[in-house]
Structure formats: C-alpha cells, structure tokens
Amino acid sequence: MNVTFLGAARTVTGSCYLLETNNRKILIDCGMFQGHEGHNELNAEPMPFDINELDYILLTHAHIDHSGRIPKLYKEGFRGEIIATKATVELCEIMLPDSGHIQEMEYEWINRKRLRAGKPPVDPLYTYQDAVDCMECFRKVAYDEFIKLPGNITVCFRDAGHILGSSILEIWINENGQETKLVFSGDLGNKNIPILRDPTIIDTADYLFIESTYGDRLHQQNEDKVEKITNIILETIEKGGNVIIPSFAVGRTQEIIYELHSKLTKYDEKIKKLFSIPVYVDSPLAISATEVFRNNLDCYDEEAKRYIENGDNPLDFPTLKFTQTAQESKELNEKNEKMIIISASGMCEAGRIKHHLKHNLWRPESTILFVGYQAEGTLGRRILDGAQKVRIFGEEISVNARIESIDGFSGHADQKGLLDWINAFIKKPKKIFIVHGEENAQKVFVQKIKEQFNIKCIVPDKGETYSITPTRAVTITTKEQDKIYRYSRLQLLEYTQLIEEEIAGLSEKIKDIINEQTDDLAIEKILYKLKNLEKDIHSLTK
Ligand SMILES: [Zn+2]
C-alpha cells in the first residue's frame, strides 16, 4: 500500500493523507490550509488523483484544518462515504457551512479587489450550500466500534480527547494475506482538560502517524489557569477595560464556559465581583457548538457527568449571554459597561473577533487574552509576538492593550504527553511518521523519539508518497514536488507585490512624519533603518 502526504506535512494545517491499498483509495482527513501566504492557492489545488476513484474519507475530527476541504471535493463530484463519530458529524453540520460562508465573504472581498485591478472574478473554494449538501455523504459511527470496509480493511475510532468527537484511527489492512496496522493519532488531546476524556491508549501499531504541534515544548505546569484568568479579568475590569478572548468557537469556548462555571460555583469575594460582569459569547458558531456539546453528554468525562447528574448545567451560569445577530455584536462595542467577550476565530483571522480587536487593541486598559495556539502568519500570532501595530480591515491599529496568553488551555498534548502516549504502546511501531507540526517542533521531537525509543522517524514533505509493507516503509515518488516548486515561485511574485504595497504605505507614513515636526533623533533612527533596508534590497537584487 501507499501513503501520500497531501497536507500538514512540515506545517500544522491542511491535514490530508491518501491511503491506497490494492483496490481502495481512502483519505484520512481533508483539511484546509490556513494562515500561511499562498494558502488560497494550496486549497484550490486539485487533488493529485481522480476523486471519482476515492472510496472513503475517514475524518478524525471536525476542526476545519482537518475537514475544511470536504465540501470542495463534494462540489467536484465526490460521492463516497465520509465516516466519523456522531459528535464529529454534528459539529461538521455547523462548522462546514460556516466555513462555506467565510469562503463566500472572503471571495467577495478578493473579487472587489480584482475588479478594481481589471481582473475577472474568481469562484470561492465552495459555498455555504455546497457544505450543507455534502453532509449527505456522512456516516455516523460510535467510538470503539470495529467497522469493516470492503477490500479487507477494518477501522476503529478511539477517543483522542482533543475536541468533542475527536478520534485516533486504528486501521488494519490485509493485503496478500498479510496484515499491516496503521495508527493515525489525529490531534491528540491533553490529559485532565475540562469536559473531555483523556486520549485513548493504543496497544500496537506497525506504522504510526503522529501529530507534533508541541513536539518541542512543555505546557506550563503548576499553574492554576483558572486562577490566572480570574486575576487577569479582575485587574482589567478594575482599570475599566474589556477582556477580549479570541477563541475557537468549538471546543475552547465551551472549555472556558465550563471553567468559569466551575469557578463561579465556588463563592468568595473575588468571585462575587467576577459574577457581576457580563460574559458575552459572540459567535453564532460557538452558540450552535455549545448546543452540540449539550447533545453529546456520552462524550463527557466523569467530572462533567457528575455536574449533570447533580442537575447542574456545566455549560451555563447566570451572567453568560449569547449574541446571535451581527447587530447585537456591533452593539457590544457601543456599550459603556465592562465586559468579557469570547469570540471567534481563535487565531483572529476572520469573524467577529476582528471587530472587537479593532475596538480594544488600542486601549491600554483592555486585555487580549489568548487561550489557544496561534499559527505562524496569523494576526493572532503577530499580536502575541509583540507587533506594535497591526492592520485590521485596512486600518492601522496601535497595540496598546495588555496581551496575555494562557498555555494551559491547549487542546494538544505537549512533548511529554506525546512521548508518554508512544511509550504506552505495548508493541512499538516500526517507524513513525511525524506530521502536523512546524519544522522546529518536528526536529526536536524526532530527536526525543530517537533518544527514548530508538525508533526511526520520517518527516514527510508535502506530495511525498511512501510505499508501506508489513516490514518496511520507503519513499517512492516525489511527483508532487513539481507543484511545490511552482508554488514557491508563485509565492515569490506574491511577496514582491506585498513589498511594493508596504513600501507605498511607508512613503505615505513618511510624508506624514515629515509634516508632523517629528524630533531629530526619531528621524535619524528612521533614516538608519531605511538605509539598512535599502542595503538589503540592493544585495538581494545583486
Ligand atoms: Zn484539531
């Protein structure tokens, strides 16, 4: 059999792996590329095989970087089965149409720009309706159920503890009388996170495909994250600011609601103060997702189940408010009260959060509290990395707000979590493919696996195909490499265009500075920087 890496190879988005056996073609995940320069082109790229020949998509979980290209495949004619857990399917029912809507909005904006440049309009990747329609292909399965597929393939979905419905895939393939077992970790969760169970321990694998998002890092330990959140909220409210929490609508938002709920049920002075501040969940998707959480109680861990048994709803408290319409969302920024706003998207790339950032980033009394991973290239990452100014809706906004980040909320296992999970295999894999991670994280993680288990690791590139037998895994083709070269060439053009635009902006800014009677020292500094910039460009041209 062959496995081709079509995404999340040396990066964290676009999860998509093609498994080809003697007579079946199966995709494991079909996620969207996000956040990087050129991601639109990568998402639009045709699959390197005839999608009419594709039999199944096995979906590990509903996150868009794992599911987001499914409606595109449907639009292009795919009518095979998409198999996932019940909760994953229910989350896809709300997340994929939302993604379709975002695509339509984004392309409307792109097309306005193209029109001004005299270029013809382009189609969105898929529409809201395409995403609604593709749901007919989904099949719900239960955790731990053995699913027999034609072609001597058996699949089992195990709880990955990452988001509601998330799974680790165990796949047994019998070819020529010999069985090979592949395990795809999907995104692996953290232990002891609210609502969800810990990731399932897997006993055996011939080949393991493991994520490596935090392969080089340990999450902060011994930190009471709820205590830290409480303090940040109280300090901000005392200064008269708002707390803005960019959060994934699905998963993270419900965890925060759960944590605030558990804090608010323990009464003390500090908490009573916290009680009086309204907490707005400003994301229609988060509201629907909270409903899906309330419909899948069987996925909850023991603690969350206990709340329910005691007649308490762990996803609710008196000051929690949901804002459904865009008008209600806009009104939040006109209100003269202090508040906590939890809004999506989690990496600040789209959605209502951008409006709240625009209205709060410049205010020194407000706080932006990050509670999730910020991928390279996203607005969230730029803010977290200390950008002084950011561009939102074409407007330059100064970053004066307090920027905070709480690590403990990560939905991904850290290095120790990943290594402990590998360690629990009774029969260790022959080889481990390291996927879903940025280069440095992968490098460090490979080293750790070598030291601890002496297992050979492979860090596949996008487009690489590996031939897998019960005994060996070899790379055979790099056909897709051509495309990667073409895209890096396209990116060169995109970057030169970007630099041109930045320089135009810079000249405007400099004209302003000259008129503003800026002091001599500042002018000298700018001059020095410009000279260096000129040198860099000159040496590049040479
Ligand atoms: Zn995920």
Return the H-helix or E-strand segment holding 85: strand 81-85
Q: What rounded mean pLDDT belongs to the chain?
A: 90
Tell me: do 317 and 192 sit in the same domain.
no
Ligand 1 centroid distance, CA of 276 (Å): 34
pLDDT reported for residue 540:
86
The sign of the torsion formed by the CA atoms of 473, 55, 18, 212 equals: negative
- Domain C-terminal end among 435, 460, 479: 479
Report the alpha-carbon distance of residue 86 to residue 61 in Å, rounded: 10
Tell me: do 356 and 370 sit in the same domain.
yes
Ligand 1 centroid distance, CA of 162 (Å): 7
Tell me: do 401 and 418 sit in the same domain.
no
Tell me: do 230 and 374 sit in the same domain.
yes
Both tokens assigned to 458: 């492979």
pLDDT reported for residue 489:
67
pLDDT reported for residue 474:
80
Question: Regarding beta strands 178-184 and 167-175, do their DSSP bridges make them parallel or antiparallel, or are they unpaired?
Answer: antiparallel
Tell me: do 151 and 298 sit in the same domain.
no
Tell me: do 92 and 194 sit in the same domain.
yes
pLDDT reported for residue 522:
84
Tell me: do 209 and 242 sit in the same domain.
no
pLDDT reported for residue 174:
95
Q: What is the CATH classification number for the domain harbouring 263?
A: 3.40.50.10890
- Domain C-terminal end among 457, 479, 501: 479
Residues of the chain with pLDDT under 70: 221-223, 267, 408-409, 477-491, 494
Query: Hey, which bits of 303-427 come out as E strands?
Result: 320-322, 340-343, 367-370, 389-392, 395-398, 402-405
Ligand 1 centroid distance, CA of 258 (Å): 19
Tell me: do 243 and 378 sit in the same domain.
yes
Ligand 1 centroid distance, CA of 433 (Å): 18
Tell me: do 212 and 234 sit in the same domain.
no
Angle (CA) 447-453-457 rounded to 5° is 50
pLDDT reported for residue 487:
59
- The per-residue DSSP string of 468-510 comes to E-SS-EEEEE-TTHHHHHHHHHHHHHHHHHHHHHHHHHHHHHH
Domain that holds residue 528: 485-541
Tell me: do 497 and 456 sit in the same domain.
no
pLDDT reported for residue 373:
81
Q: What is the CATH classification number for the domain harbouring 442?
A: 3.60.15.10
Report residues near ion ligand 1: CB below 5 Å. Answer: 63, 187
Tell me: do 376 and 451 sit in the same domain.
no
- Domain C-terminal end among 394, 409, 424: 409
Total structural domains within the chain: 3
Tell me: do 362 and 234 sit in the same domain.
yes
Report the alpha-carbon distance of residue 233 to residue 242 in Å, rounded: 8
